[in-house]
Structure 1
Amino acid sequence: MQPVHEWHAAPLPADEAKRLQLLRSLDLLDTAQEEVFDRVTRVVAELLQVPIALVSLVDEHRQWFKSRIGLDVCETARDVSFCAHALHSGRLLLVEDTRDDPRFAGNPLVTGAPHIRFYAGVPLRSSDGLVLGTLCAIDTKPRTLSASLQASLCDLAATVEREIVQREAARETRELQEADRRKLRLSESRFHTIFQRTPTGKAIVDLSGRFVEVNPKLCEITGYSADELVTMTFQQITEEADLPADLQLVSELLDGARKTYTLEKRYRRRDGEPVWIELSVALIRDERGLPLHFVSVMHDITSRKHSEEMLRDYRQELERRVLERTCELTSSRTTLQTITDNLPVLIAHVDADLRYRFNNQMYREVFGVEPAALRGKYVLDTIGAATFERCLPYFRRVLAGERVTHEDIVYEGAPGRIWNATYIPEYRRDDVGGFYIMSQDITETKRRENQMRSEVMLDALTGLPNRRALAEQLALSVDAARDEDVPFALFFMDLDGFKSVNDQHGHDTGDALLRQVAARLKKTTRAGDLVCRLAGDEFVLLARGIASASACSRIAQDICRAIGRPFELGCGEAHLGTSVGIAMCAGGFDTSAEAILADADRAMYEAKRKGRNGFRFAPVFAEATTPAIDDYRHEILTMRN
């Protein structure tokens, strides 16, 4: 006779009533599947190689699956639920063989379908620590789970937890919006005034691309009236050649791959003429994260584009004319010298052995050598070994018969100037016997380009580097950590209490407060550190050369103390805090810029959940291959605890 195994239903948590009230208010139960949750369960199933992965929400009499992989039913009774036991688990409930565990040996889900033999479940907590459900992995055979995979499962649960916390915050926001309805109407009135009167084109565009609302400046740019534009889509007035790139960026917005984008493209005006615009687009989502519409801002850059085109045409025409005249006057050196000596361009003729055959007077100005003295001399001896090494690949290409342009050359004779050189092959019958060099000074053009690039990299409100600058510098730091063993730390900061100040005193006061925060962060950090403003009240510090968790802790404490001091406003004092998430990167860790930023972001949310105005470290689970890396990981884990 077979032995009878018992099983035990999990006891109710002490905070059961409060837990159920919150769960039912989040609009998660009995809702459609969502990619943000399904993406996590797919990763769990693939990472742990299990047939079943679930996001389970524990209701009063049932457990309901918000996301499920490998299971046909959408809910089971709570009294047979493994996840109900996980409500009492601090971090991870791990059952390696259910038949060896008296709590589950006789459970109908073990003795019958789906025949659970292995279970690993991580509690999903609200911002107040209430356990709403679990992220769990299930197998039909016993198995063990390495510490690394346990940590990865907990990290994935933190992603689901963050989504739930965001929805919890969204619910609180909806309640606040109900109380602040009058303030919202005033805000909408201000937005309408700004929308209509600013000197840039603005539009609200629905998800299909149709203009919903446009301002007078956009009508001026396109030549259409507002009544005409609201019957059209942006696709209809976009130049056909520019449309694919625009649609690709729109798709990335909708997929969540980016939050905004900026693009230079052409509209076709009502009169048929093209107009160049710089387009900036943001996607507005509702409180559930669903896309609502796009907000677009357009600057007319037609004049700048025409200037760039004229400059490009001028350079090409100059090259063409010089080449024509050089070819025509090869037999008359005196005439050729006279013409080229009066052009503000370095002009030379070089043979196949890379010896000069001709130089104009600009060589005396730049290199301090008489042009006639250079004839028969090697190019290497004039431009220097370092410059010659950079130019040699281009010389080889032109001698192979290719017309080549070489950007950003700095000659040793003129270190403060930047040149653009064109190398044109000289054909003698069917062979290339040498080539012509025309180098134009583009120092001022590069200066303007660099100035424009610097402006694009700065946050207009605080003057700090913006998200684009952070992405560039963070990618360089990750490469340096991987290739050159140069460590760094990333501090993700979110202001505590800023929203209440902003709502109470208005956006102008909020902007002034953000500028003070930026100034304090710059003063608190080292001169070589990069302090950036991402958006809203989020700031990031990139500190290079930081190799220990204790150093990171001191920096984070300095930041919290600096932000914790009262801020002087025109209406009185403001008191803020900051929650800081810290992610570290050193040699031996293989990661990406996006991953380490996400790690710091998650650690910041953990700091908020732990009480705000403090800091938390992101987990470190790299495979250590040397004692130094083992010590590094141990110190990080010690600081986290």
Structure 2
Amino acid sequence: MLIAPLPANEAARLRLLKHLELLDTPPEESFDRITRLLAGMLQVPIALVSLIDENRQWFKSRIGTDVCETPRDIAFCAHALHEADMLVIEDAHADTRFADNPLVVGPPFIRFYAGVPLRSHDGLVLGTLCAIDTQPRKLAPNAAAALRDLARTLEREIAQREAAMDTRLVQEQDRRTLALSEARFSTVFQRSPTGKALVDLQGRFIDVNPKLCEITGYAAEELLQKTFAEITHPDDLEQDLRLLAELMVDRRQSFSMEKRYLRRDGSWIWVQISVSLVRDEEGTPVHLIAVIQDIADRKRDEALQHDYQAELEHRVRERTAALAASREMLQTITDNLPVLIAHVNRELRYTFNNDMYRQVFGVDTSELTGKPLASVLRPELYQQLLPYFRRALAGERVTCDNVRYSLAQPRVWSGTYVPDVRDGEVVGFYVMSQDVTERKRAEKLMHDKAMLDPLTGLPNRRALHEKMEQSFSAASASGASGASGDSGAGLALFFMDLDGFKGVNDSHGHETGDALLRQVAQRIRQVVRQQDFVSRLAGDEFVVVAEHIPVAACERVAESIRAALARPFVLDDCTVCIGTSIGIALRPPERQTGTAQLLSEADAAMYEAKRRGRNGYCFAPTSPPAS
């Protein structure tokens, strides 16, 4: 039996796991709902949410087992911590890592395992969402996609816990160090991308930030004359007050809810609000802290999609009920809907199709009646959708949100399968599939936007980590395939911290500091190679990732950056001079350094450059210069 090695970031991972206060806590529906869904979707006897502690794996949620924890040394999930995507063991008896594992040769007699790592917002792996079977099996692509989607849902739940824990920690720290941190809190409060407010115990706004004013349309002085109840929709106020009352009597530490605010122009806007109660040293309530996020666009999209789907289902049910009396009328109606509509019997054969099938598949719809779905759909698509067909025939309304009917066309469809129940028996199901290509494109645009730093327009920390993981994966694949390149060329990481930036910020203000950061970003992009990846990590820290770069060229790149940033910066109201300290870490093709380690090496080298006098560069000890 092979024992999984410890992750490189084990200490940080364990600290976060304990900080979240998830270990040894009672079952929660938000986690149990996911394991129930996973067990049902994959048809496995065991589904777990496993958290990997220092010496054990503990199950936050479990389906199909009474055991709440096992030693870490024998845990499959301990191996999954090292996977970028998921760990799949089709037959544990055939895997030398697990063949003699106590969980394989003894209860619960594991043969099949599939686990997706659960990561925090900054990439630390806390555990896994996994499915287990006592029989060997393969994991279908759609089942793998479902497992990933459920894992992402759990990650959002954990991220909310982390945010709540961070909020409580900030509150405690604020009470103890208020005098020292007042200016810092004010900066965070005013410049936050989400709405924030301090509210007294009578519900009156004490302080509001610009983002909340933007959301509500009120000026700050106007909001300070109001209570939250005055701008809350009457239908949402009762729940808001009930949760607040529970907060006041210490029945909960915080609460979140979706509700509507009355804007200054008289319109209503949907927001998600998270509220925490601040108490003094004696535990007496002092005031409330509210974090408000504008969710109007999401609510609007959800409502439109729900209404559209409901309308489609209503039309199909209404027309199908009259099929025997007016099939021609039904055919005419459905033929003019921009949706694929069909009826399928229990033998998975078409009994009805609308004209969209002709447009999408290029066949006469009359020829489809009686044909099996397997003869119309591509083999791999049929296998992808078969589990959904079976669930619909079992009486479950299901949706597959990523259907490609034709590989020659980049159209994406969302297929919904609604059971046809007659006299209490499922006799088939209806197919309603709508084109969601534009929606998918919009979602991708939102994802791309989330990867950019709003101040400089450079890729942000999240994008940097994704880029480095992609680069490492590509390098590993190239090495495995025997691809060759320049023997001295690898990946170089330039970690920059500006020298003198804080003085500019303190002397001239944050607006000047922001303008300086934007010019710094422009100069860095001008002096590095066009294909190099430039990102802003945080504050005045910048990172350049250069791929396929000879070691000898790294010093020239570092010197070009240093010289470019040493030239005076002409801003709107002043001219300033700064410098930069640069740490360089190299990853030649033969080195298997991970993202966190390479960043840490470059960061340490940057601090060594500062120690040597600033405005210079230094290679990490593991990355000596060519000279």
Residue number in structure 2 paired with 1:166: none
**Residue matched to 2:126:** none
Which position in structure 1 is the counterpart of 2:513? 510
Aligned partner of 1:465 in structure 2 is: 459
Cα displacement (A) at 1:345: 0.7
Question: Which secondary structure state, in structure 2, belongs to the residue aligned with residue 405 of structure 1?
Answer: strand
Q: How far does residue 322 in structure 1 lie from its aligned partner after superposition?
A: 1.7
**Letter in structure 2 aligned against 1:362:** M
> What's the counterpart of residue 224 of structure 2?
226
The 8 Å contact of residues 280 and 297 in structure 1, kept in 2 or not, is answered as yes
Residue-pair matches, total: 411
User: 1:363: Cα distance to partner?
Assistant: 1.9
Q: Could you tell me whether the CA contact under 8 Å between 1:266 and 1:274 is conserved in 2?
A: no
Q: Deviation at 1:461?
A: 1.9
2:339 corresponds to: 345
Partners of 2:416 and 2:429 lie apart in 1 by 10
Matching residue's letter, 2:520: V
Amino acid corresponding to residue 522 of structure 1 in structure 2 = R
Pick one of 352, 363, 388 that aligns with 1:358: 352
Structure-2 separation of matches of 1:379 and 1:302: 40
Structure 2: stretches of 5+ with no match in the other structure = 1-10, 16-179, 230-238, 276-286, 481-489
Counterpart residue number, 1:499: 502
AA partner of residue 338 (structure 2): P
Other-structure match for 1:404: 398
> Which entry has the higher C-alpha Rg, 1 or 2?
1
CA RMSD of aligned residues (A): 5.4
> Matched residues in 2 for 1:465 and 1:214: separation?
30
Identity %: 49
- CA–CA distance in 2 between the matches of 1:441 and 1:541? 40
1:347 deviates by 0.9
Match of 1:367 in 2: 361
How far residue 205 of structure 1 moved from its aligned partner, in angstroms, is 8.3
Match of 1:35 in 2: none
Aligned-partner residue type, residue 405 of structure 2: Y
Distance apart, 1:371 and its partner CA: 1.8
Q: Supply the distance in 2 between the matched residues of 1:429 and 1:356 (Cα, whole angstroms).
A: 21
TM-score of the superposed pair, with normalisation by structure 1: 0.51
Match of 1:266 among 258, 262, 275: 258
After superposition, the C-alpha distances for 1:45-86 in whole angstroms (9 at most, x for unaligned) are: xxxxxxxxxxxxxxxxxxxxxxxxxxxxxxxxxxxxxxxxxx
Q: Deviations over 1:94-148 (max 9, x none)?
A: xxxxxxxxxxxxxxxxxxxxxxxxxxxxxxxxxxxxxxxxxxxxxxxxxxxxxxx
TM-score by length of 2: 0.52
Q: Which residue of 2 aligns with 1:315?
A: 309
The answer for the alignment partner of 1:88 in structure 2 is none
1:580 pairs, out of 567, 582, 597, with: 582
Tell whether the 8 Å contact from 1:409 to 1:419 is kept in structure 2 after alignment.
yes
Structure 1 stretch 565-574 or stretch 401-410: which is displaced more?
565-574
Is residue 267–residue 274 contact of structure 1 (8 Å, CA) maintained in 2? no
**Change in CA separation of 1:267 and 1:582 when aligned onto 2, cut-off 3 Å:** farther
Can you list the C-alpha shifts for 1:459-479, whole angstroms capped at 9, x where unaligned? 222112223333444455556
Contact 1:482 1:588 in 2 (8 A): no
SS in structure 2 at match of 1:639: coil
Corresponding residue to 2:435 among 432, 437, 441: 441
Partner of 2:165: none
Q: Please give the alpha-carbon distance, in whole angstroms, between the structure 2 residues aligned to 1:374 and 1:466.
A: 51
Is the contact made by 1:408 and 1:420 (CA closer than 8 Å) also made in structure 2?
Answer: yes
Partner of 2:320: 326
What is the match of residue 524 of structure 1? Answer: 527
Letter in 1 for 2:398: V
Distance across 2 between alignment mates of 1:302 and 1:578: 42
Partner of 2:543, secondary structure, is: strand
Residue in structure 2 matched with residue 639 of structure 1 by the alignment = 625
Aligned CA distance change for structure 1 residues 387 and 516 (closer, same or farther; 3 Å) = farther
Change in CA separation of 1:226 and 1:519 when aligned onto 2, cut-off 3 Å: same
CA distance in 1, matches of 2:410, 2:500: 49
8 A Cα contact 2:343 2:428, kept in partner: yes
Q: Distance in 1 between matches of 2:228 and 2:584?
A: 47
Distance 1:330 1:478 in 2: 61
Is 379-388 or 444-453 further displaced after alignment? 379-388
SS across alignment from 2:457: coil
Q: Is the 8 A contact 1:367 1:414 kept in 2?
A: no
Structure 1, gaps ≥5 residues long: 1-38, 44-177, 179-183, 252-262, 282-292, 620-635
2:618 to 602, 616, 639: 616
Could you tell me whether the CA contact under 8 Å between 2:568 and 2:577 is conserved in 1?
A: yes
Aligned-partner SS, 1:493: strand
